[in-house]
A and B are shown apart, each in its own frame.
Chain A
Amino acid sequence: MGSLRLENIKKSFGQVEVLKGIDLDVKEGEFIVFVGPSGCGKSTLLRIVAGLEDATSGEVLIDGAKVNTVPPAKRGIAMVFQTYALYPHLTVRNNMGLGLKQAGAPAPEIAKRIATASTMLSLDPYLERRPAELSGGQRQRVAIGRAVVREPKLFLFDEPLSNLDAALRVNTRLEIAQLHRRLSATMIYVTHDQVEAMTLADRIVVLNNGHVEQIGAPMQLYNAPANEFVAGFIGSPKMNFIDGGRLGESVKTIGVRPEHLSVDAAKGDWKGTVIHVEHLGADTNLYIDTEKAGLLTARIFGEYRAEPGSTVHATPEPAKTYRFDEEGRRIE
């Protein structure tokens, strides 16, 4: 229960083609994250899966059955939205129970499922409150609870953490990860934040401009990005891209991750000047303007003492540099 298959999904709004042919296979119980810059069509794709939007062409199959013409409520899905989207006039209990009530489930069954979900999400003290009387984090937990109560084949999350502050975001992220483990349900999660994608996903789908750039496990995308876009999108700080010609190489672009650059005051491959230093505690980010390779970011573990204006040498780890051709594809 809970597999999803997308076949050549295309979507246009008027003249603008927003999705340009998306193919995807999601296995039962998988946690899939759609990640990509904002405006690339992630939400649109998720809404097509949910049935809130019709695809211009292509097929959506849930558990092997074509659902193109099935309304959202009958697809066996549940969705959590960025803006929580709780019903303002209903209590937390009724918010969670409405979907089942509409589907005609018997009252004791509804009560039982609400009780299970509210215990799971520690919502018991708030069941009789209205959404206006809850904090942002509590509201999002209610929204997640509302999805859990439906016991869907497919959970859909559209940037559920974007409206929360940083600390809550980490907590709620953990809660979603635990939820996935406990329910072993299929989940599709949309975010523009690559940290969320890396921490939650079994597999990540990197979207850009309406098409899939790469699908793979988080470490697969990190270690073996298919192209320049994925290499730049996954990892923080962003990968350094150096023009191949400047280094006397035949390839178009060379990529080095900031964490794969070592810095030494005395000797190294690329001599340069420190422009700015960011101390993050656990590590230090150095921005270096090098003569040979241009502006680079280096991430050094632990504390590194350097003054802006001082001279340093950056050296890439040879086995960890990436080469890209004219079209941005990585050369093995």
Chain B
Amino acid sequence: MSQARSSLPRTIAAHAILIAYTIIALFPVILIVMNSFKSRQAIFRSPLMPPTAETFDLVGYRTVMVQGDFFLYFQNSLIVTVVSLFLVLLFGAMAAFALAEYRFRGNTLTGLYLALGIMIPIRLGTVAILQLMVASGLVNTRTALILVYTAQGLPLAIFILSEFTRQISDDLKNAGRIDGLSEYRIFFRLVLPLLRPAMATVAVFTMIPIWNDLWFPLILAPAEPTKTITLGVQIFLGQFVTNWNAVLSALSLAIVPVLVLYLIFSRQLIRGITSGAVK
């Protein structure tokens, strides 16, 4: 390490702060995963201990597999999240491109209107959404959830992506136009690849609230075949008795897909966050 730019006390202080933060952030997650492998008594007697040979118990996972249609819930969550994510990214990028690229009457106004959703939570419209879904016969379908989540994710996506789209060189798009590429080809082949880091950022911010949401599944799709995992786990949380083994196991399993998606996006994500910092 170069001497001119760093001193030992400062390095130690920086690491101490970062390590402390990491521990605080990871503690609940580790606690959940750890306890999901323990017997019920062990969870209550020594919640902070890692599983030992005698306290190790897979009863939680067994319950989850047997009781309730866990894999169906899992599948529902995954379908709803991935499809919503895809639609948010696709339509978000398209809207951002249109707003940044074309001069038309009401451009700024449209942009503001689309960004309004950032400030107004979609849950305020729950009653109307429910009536809408009932009227269109979409209650208890995954489509209902996908539509709502797409609407929920779009404002922020458009807001972030239009900022990035504006930075893409006009010359490149114009070169495409002179070579006879259609506006769609220009968007999909020239613009979209350059938006990848920004889209990864948006993907992570969009994905996590969808995966964790309990509100809309409970209201729009509470039926057994369309339950998502966050809703599915609720069957283990009783008013009087809670099957903690099962709850913890289900939650541990639910972390996996988000983790996988995050790992896929994270390389791009870091570039998205730091882009523009250095030219």
Contact = CB atoms under 8 A, between A and B. Distances in A.
A134 B138 CA distance: 54
Interface residues of A, number: 25
A140 to B, nearest CB: 12
B172 A85 contact: yes
Contact of A83 (B169, B180, B181): B169
B174 A99 contact: no
Interface in A66-115: 71-74, 77-79, 81-89, 98-99, 102-103
B177 A73 contact: yes
Closest 7 A-B residue pairs measured CB to CB? A73-B180, A85-B171, A99-B179, A102-B180, A81-B171, A85-B175, A85-B172
Interface of A: 47, 50, 52, 71-74, 77-79, 81-89, 98-99, 102-103, 146, 158
Interface stretch (B19-27, B148-156, B186-194, B251-259): B186-194
Contacts of A146: 175, 179
Nearest to A147: B178
A157 B147 CA distance: 47
Contact of A79 (B178, B180, B181): B178
B185 to A, nearest CB: 9
A299 B182 CA distance: 54
Contact of B178 (A73, A82, A83): A73
Contacts of B171: 81-85, 158
A103 B179 CA distance: 8
A115 to B, nearest CB: 19
B197 to A, nearest CB: 14
23 contacts: A50-B178, A52-B174, A72-B174, A72-B178, A72-B180, A73-B178, A73-B179, A73-B180, A77-B178, A79-B175, A81-B175, A83-B172, A84-B171, A85-B175, A86-B175, A87-B172, A87-B189, A88-B193, A89-B189, A99-B178, A99-B179, A102-B180, A146-B175
A50 B175 CA distance: 11
A74 B179 CA distance: 9
Contact of B194 (A79, A84, A88): A88
Contacts of A98: 179, 181
Nearest to B176: A87
Contact of A102 (B169, B179, B190): B179
- Residue among B169, B174, B175, B193 facing the most chain A CB atoms (10 A cut-off): B175
Given A83-B169, A99-B180, A89 B175 contact: no
Nearest to A13: B103
Given A79-B175, A85-B171, 8 more contacts: A50-B178, A71-B177, A71-B180, A72-B174, A81-B171, A84-B171, A89-B189, A98-B181
Interface residues of B, number: 15
Contacts of B180: 71-74, 99, 102-103
A99 B190 CA distance: 14
Contacts of B177: 52, 71-73
Contacts of A71: 177, 180
Interface in B173-218: 174-181, 189-190, 193-194
Contacts of B178: 50, 52, 72-73, 77-79, 99
A105 to B, nearest CB: 11
Nearest to B177: A72
A78 B181 CA distance: 14
A89 B193 contact: yes
Given A88-B193, A88-B194, A89-B189, A81 B174 contact: yes
A86 B181 CA distance: 14
A158 B189 CA distance: 24
- Residue among A47, A74, A99 facing the most chain B CB atoms (10 A cut-off): A99
A97 B264 CA distance: 34
Contacts of B194: 88
A160 to B, nearest CB: 11
A89 B181 CA distance: 15
A73 B177 CA distance: 6
Nearest to B174: A52
- Residue among B169, B172, B179 facing the most chain A CB atoms (10 A cut-off): B179
A107 to B, nearest CB: 16
Contacts of B174: 47, 50, 52, 72, 79, 81, 85
A74 B194 CA distance: 27
Nearest to A79: B178
A84 B171 CA distance: 8
B131 to A, nearest CB: 43
A43 to B, nearest CB: 10
- Residue among B177, B178, B190 facing the most chain A CB atoms (10 A cut-off): B178
Contacts of B176: 87
B37 to A, nearest CB: 47
A199 B175 CA distance: 27
